[in-house]
């Protein structure tokens, strides 16, 4: 990452996932990255999106290590919930499943912003990016279906926008963005990607996303980009 201070400090949340693992791999290979930490439900410290205390504790542990973190990547998310795949029709909607999708895909990331965004640098570029999904775009929804996943990612997009607006004075060079990684060969997409026109290796998608993030500045904060650097509509 050439646009961050050298050496830069990075943290990846969801470091056990397909995309989280690939992000860590790239950052470990980057000579400009001085330190990268992967957080997940079984890391030290553990971080569970359903437990705000664990997020608060992880943020405190990061602060003990360094006052500022240049790159924060949220690679968490869920699609299949307790064996329930995405709904094809309204009649399949189950409130508990939908609530769980919101808890993991929207409220969890909002809590990450709450506790970790204060760790972003105040006087130089810092990035806090979260993995959303194109299907979370309301403007781009021409197919319907996948109600809980779509709606939870749409909520996430709004959370990104709102966080970026709040931070624009306290962290003037912060880049807070939602990302669409493309359809990638991971556990999450495995049952649903047969008809995808293109399936990316996680290494390819995350390499492309890091390059996109390197090219963004504060004027892009609060927006939504795909792995090819195209801005997507909310």
Ligand X SMILES: NC(=O)c1ccc[n+]([C@@H]2O[C@H](COP(=O)([O-])OP(=O)(O)OC[C@H]3O[C@@H](n4cnc5c(N)ncnc54)[C@H](OP(=O)(O)O)[C@@H]3O)[C@@H](O)[C@H]2O)c1
Q: Is 181 a residue that touches ligand X (CB under 6 A)?
A: yes
Which helix H or strand E contains 180, and what residues bound it? strand 174-180
Q: What sign has the CA pseudo-torsion 164, 165, 169, 173?
A: positive
Closest CA to 39 of 26, 23, 155: 23
Output b/e per residue, 140-166; b: 16+ Cβ within 10 A.
eeeeeebbbbbbbbbbbbbbbbebbee
C-beta of 137: minimal distance to ligand X in Å? Answer: 11
Looking at the Cβ atoms of 62 and 75, the one nearer to ligand X is 75
Q: Which residue stretch of 71-79, 139-147, 170-178, 210-218 sits at the interface with ligand X (rule: CB under 6 A)?
A: 71-79
Give me the 21-60 binding string for ligand X, x by CB under 6 A, dash otherwise: -------------------xx-----xxxx----------
Q: Is 131 a residue that touches ligand X (CB under 6 A)?
A: yes
d(CA 198, CA 134): 14
Contact at 8 Å (CB) between 181 and 131? yes
Q: Is 186 a residue that touches ligand X (CB under 6 A)?
A: yes
* Among residues 10, 58, 75, 155, the one that binds ligand X under rule CB under 6 A: 75
Q: Is 189 a residue that touches ligand X (CB under 6 A)?
A: yes
* Among residues 174, 176, 188, 232, the one that binds ligand X under rule CB under 6 A: 188
* Among residues 71, 184, 209, 216, the one that binds ligand X under rule CB under 6 A: 184
d(CA 172, CA 121): 9
Q: What sign has the CA pseudo-torsion 210, 216, 218, 224?
A: negative
* Interface residue list for ligand X (CB under 6 A): 14, 16-20, 40-41, 47-50, 75-78, 104, 131, 133, 181, 183-184, 186-189
């Amino acid at each position: 990452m050439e646009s961050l201070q050298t050496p830069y400090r990075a943290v990846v949340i969801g470091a056990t996932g397909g995309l989280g693992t690939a992000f860590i791999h790239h950052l470990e290979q980057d000579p400009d990255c001085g330190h990268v930490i992967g957080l997940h439900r079984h890391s030290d410290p553990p971080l569970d999106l359903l437990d705000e205390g664990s997020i608060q504790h992880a943020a405190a542990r990061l602060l003990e290590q360094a006052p500022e973190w240049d790159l924060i990547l949220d690679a968490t998310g869920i699609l299949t919930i307790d064996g329930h795949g995405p709904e094809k029709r309204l009649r399949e909607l189950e409130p508990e499943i939908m609530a769980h999708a919101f808890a993991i895909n929207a409220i969890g990331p909002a809590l990450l912003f709450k506790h970790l965004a204060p760790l972003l640098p105040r006087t130089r570029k810092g990035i806090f990016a979260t993995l959303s999904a194109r299907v979370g775009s309301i403007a781009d929804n021409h197919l319907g279906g996948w109600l809980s996943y779509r709606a939870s990612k749409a909520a996430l997009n709004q959370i990104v926008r709102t966080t970026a607006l709040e931070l624009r004075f306290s962290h003037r060079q912060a880049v807070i963005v939602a990302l669409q990684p493309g359809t990638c060969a991971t556990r999450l997409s495995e049952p649903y990607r047969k008809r995808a026109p293109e399936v990316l290796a996680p290494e390819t998608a995350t390499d492309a996303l890091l390059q996109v993030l390197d090219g963004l500045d504060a004027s892009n904060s609060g927006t939504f980009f795909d792995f090819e650097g195209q801005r997507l509509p909310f």
